Amino acid sequence: MTTVMVSIAAFIAAISAHEFAHAFAAWKLGDDTAMASGRLTMNPIAHIDPVGTLLLPALLVVMNSPVVFGWAKPVPIDPRKFSSPRIGLLITGVAGPLANFVLAAAAALIVRSGLFVPGGYVFFFFASLLLVNVVLGVFNLIPIPPLDGSNILVAVLPVKAARVLARAGRYGSIILVALLYAGLLDRVIFPIVKAVTGYLLK
């Protein structure tokens, strides 16, 4: 049970950093929507979704899933408040995964430092923090709504193609679930996560 709680704590820290980064980037670019909604904070309570942040990750840990994942409450962003909506979407979209990779790198440094005994709860926390952040960073770069990669793609595509992708957003969750069941995690995500994690631990 203690390891479950440690894993959930690592997951909550990762999603809090991810969502804060979205809110901070939007605020710096002129959109105060997230700040007005109380999301410009690292306080996990502001970002927790009861099912996606607590229940699902706990079940996955109990079931010995090789990856713990879930979701937080989406950070509200109003592209109309950006001086350049496309650049604003690009930067805010990149901010979340980038925060995860930075946090993963920091966790990897601690894991490699030898400061904590392998097998101990503190070591397990930072090892979990490393893995969870890499998974969140990689997974969110998939260019399918509602993931961050879709906003990044919308920002760089020609206008007509971007509009088509934006309209397809309503079907994004269905497409994503279908791809996951088709083996997206095993064939694409896991190898990338393994490669990034291995690189950080060199």
Distance CA 115, CA 32 (A): 40
Determine whether 19 is an active site residue.
yes
Cis, bond preceding 146 (omega within 30 deg of 0)? yes
**Would residue 119 be called left, alpha or beta, if left means φ above 0 and alpha means ψ between -120 and 50 degrees?**
left
C-alpha 57, offset from chain centre: 14
Instruction: Single out the catalytic residue among 12, 16, 18, 19.
Output: 19
Structure tokens that stand for 5 in this block: 């709680």
Which among 43, 54, 77 is positioned nearest to 146, based on CA atoms? Answer: 77
Domain hosting residue 41, numbered range: 2-200
Tens-digit pLDDT profile for the chain (202 aa)? 678 788 888 988 999 999 999 999 999 999 999 999 999 999 999 998 888 777 877 777 677 765 556 678 889 999 999 999 999 999 999 999 999 999 999 999 999 998 998 989 999 999 999 999 999 999 999 988 888 999 899 889 888 888 887 777 777 778 877 777 777 777 888 899 999 999 999 8
Q: How far apart are the first and last CA of the chain?
A: 31
Q: Give me the number of domains the chain comprises.
A: 1
- Global pTM value: 0.88
